[in-house]
Chain A
Amino acid sequence: MSGLIINELTKKYYNKIALRNVSLNFEQGKIYGLLGPNGSGKTTLMKVVAGLHKQTSGHVLINDQVLSYKTKSYVSYMSTENYLYSSFKVVDILKFYKDMYKDFRYDYALNLLNDINVKLDYKVSNLSSGETAKLKTVIALSRDTDIYLLDEPLNGVDVLARDTIMDIIAKSYGENKIIIISTHLVSEIEKVLDTVVFLKEGAVELFFDAEELRQERQMSVEGIYKEVFGND
């Protein structure tokens, strides 16, 4: 059995509880939307799966293996923050990934960046926020791996670039892959999603097939989101 299994995951910080007994089962060949307002636990969940934060209690199984440095090779995480070495040129970042990850598709990334006009010899610190977003997305999706965690890939990105990024995400679909996208911009991505997961204050509020939701509620996922969370 493969995939991503999260079992009774809890993450506490000294002043708050970020995740409460979250249990989720992610299947291969699906694109998931992880939706919820700021502070609902989406980022924390991704960081635990990516191995950057240790959970307080609960289990995570990736491809039947318990979280460890080894499972990091099955996960490609794109954080909202500026985590790329700012003094590096774009092409240096690609080389870093090529050196560090066996599954990194260097040429694919190179060509894709050229196609979307991200200059390879620019320093990361000199890229605009849209270009940075594109770069982070391309790098994350250029790894040929099992689980992709994209945290707000459309944040701070202008409308035109959003289409580009959605395009890249859609093309990354694979029947052995799990893609999990977290975002506020529900209306833009909902037609790409198989299943939506709503996180509210660290707990799973809803876990449903997007089309079934539309059928049953005769509403868009965005509409349901607004109902559940109020106007966010």
Chain B
Amino acid sequence: MISLIKYEFIRKYKLVSMILITILALNLLLLTKGAGGSMLFLVVSLSALFVFYLVDIIKMYSDDLNKKTGYMLFMTPNSGYKIIWAKLLAAIIEGAGLVLIYFIFILINGAYIVVSMGDQIDYSQIVRGVNQLLSGTFGFNLGHVLVLLIAVLAFLIAFITTVYTAMTIRKSIFSEIKFGGLFSFIIFLLINWLLSLVTDKFHDIMTPYYDSINAVSNAGNISAGGLALILLPIISVFIIQAIVLTGFSGYLLEKKINL
């Protein structure tokens, strides 16, 4: 398993390094434009990382399924389950890594904004400093940001597993029929539609839970912990979804794959 995850990263380290260096360069460039530049950077880089992450994770698996280089992976004596779980774990690690990097960019740019506004910042207390800035300006702090990023990551990963499943179906049960690609895409839409139904239903069921949280916190003013509690159910749904779909993809890879 470790080897599989290791090679997932070895295969992409050049690309990831390039992206990170580009983003760093962008940051340095935008820093010259003052506080506004910093904020612009944070928005742009978030979108860029978002897109890059999705494309990268999906493309890696797509290449393994569709290109001949996929033989390297699929000739190894690893079960389909192991292969797909390794990919999921690698995706989680990469996502967490990107969240961390983005977080560091927030700190750097946040500190820069503080300084550019003329205030002093104690670099050993950089987190607190940035927190004060955020709470003062926007009403939320780094804790909220982190919780939100984690929720977004969970969503992305869950979404990715629906793509994985559709692609796996394409290369297994629909591999030998005409219009297999079309059918797989339809299945992909179906899965996502079904999941949205499930989550809607889930939210309905969870209403008492949300109400109870609202009752406890001040109206309109939730702590980071409170936010975490609110998002916890939906994040759990994402996690369960990811696990179930990955298990199913693993089953298909193991029993039905046709490269």
A residues with CB within 8 A of B: 12-15, 47, 50-54, 69-73, 77, 79, 81-87, 92, 96, 99-101
Q: Find chain A residues with CB under 8 A from B71 CB.
A: 52, 77, 79, 81, 83
Residue of B nearest to A86 (CB): B69
Residue of A nearest to B11 (CB): A85
B residues with CB within 8 A of A: 3, 6-7, 10-11, 14, 68-72, 74-80, 176-178, 254-259
Selected from A14, A53, A87, the residue in CB contact (under 8 A) with B178 is A14
Given A69-B78, A101-B77, 6 more contacts at CB 8 Å? A14-B177, A51-B74, A53-B259, A54-B257, A87-B14, A99-B7
A-B contact list, 8 entries, CB within 8 Å: A12-B176, A14-B177, A52-B257, A52-B258, A53-B259, A54-B257, A83-B69, A96-B7
**Residue pair A69, B80 in contact (C-beta under 8 Å):** yes
**Residue pair B72, A69 in contact (C-beta under 8 Å):** no
Selected from B7, B68, B75, the residue in CB contact (under 8 A) with A51 is B75
Selected from B14, B68, B74, B80, the residue in CB contact (under 8 A) with A81 is B68
Q: Find chain A residues with CB under 8 A from B76 CB.
A: 72, 100-101
**Residue pair A54, B256 in contact (C-beta under 8 Å):** yes
A82 CA to B14 CA in the complex, in Å? 21
Q: Is the interface of A mostly helix, strand, loop or mixed?
A: loop
A79 CA to B75 CA in the complex, in Å? 11
Q: Find chain B residues with CB under 8 A from A70 CB.
A: 77
Smallest CB-CB A-B distances: 10 pairs: A73-B77, A83-B71, A72-B77, A81-B68, A100-B76, A83-B68, A69-B79, A99-B3, A52-B259, A14-B176
A83 CA to B254 CA in the complex, in Å? 21
With A81-B68, A83-B69, A84-B72 known as contacts, the answer to whether A54 contacts B258 (CB < 8 A) is yes
Total number of A-B contacts with CB less than 8 angstroms? 66
Q: Nearest-CB distance from B96 to chain A (Å)?
A: 24
Q: Find chain B residues with CB under 8 A from A100 CB.
A: 3, 76-78
Residue of A nearest to B67 (CB): A83
A15 CA to B176 CA in the complex, in Å? 9
**Residue pair B177, A50 in contact (C-beta under 8 Å):** no
Residue of A nearest to B74 (CB): A52
**Residue pair A72, B75 in contact (C-beta under 8 Å):** yes
A12 CA to B175 CA in the complex, in Å? 11
A21 CA to B7 CA in the complex, in Å? 39
**Residue pair B256, A52 in contact (C-beta under 8 Å):** no
With A13-B176, A14-B177, A54-B256 known as contacts, the answer to whether A83 contacts B77 (CB < 8 A) is no
Q: Nearest-CB distance from B253 to chain A (Å)?
A: 9
A69 CA to B78 CA in the complex, in Å? 6
Residue of B nearest to A98 (CB): B3
With A12-B176, A14-B176, A99-B3 known as contacts, the answer to whether A79 contacts B77 (CB < 8 A) is no
**Residue pair B72, A83 in contact (C-beta under 8 Å):** yes
Q: Nearest-CB distance from A123 to chain B (Å)?
A: 11
**Residue pair B77, A69 in contact (C-beta under 8 Å):** yes
A85 CA to B64 CA in the complex, in Å? 11
Q: Find chain B residues with CB under 8 A from A69 CB.
A: 77-80, 254
A13 CA to B177 CA in the complex, in Å? 8
Residue of B nearest to A85 (CB): B69
**Residue pair B68, A79 in contact (C-beta under 8 Å):** yes
**Residue pair B254, A77 in contact (C-beta under 8 Å):** no
Q: Find chain B residues with CB under 8 A from A14 CB.
A: 176-178
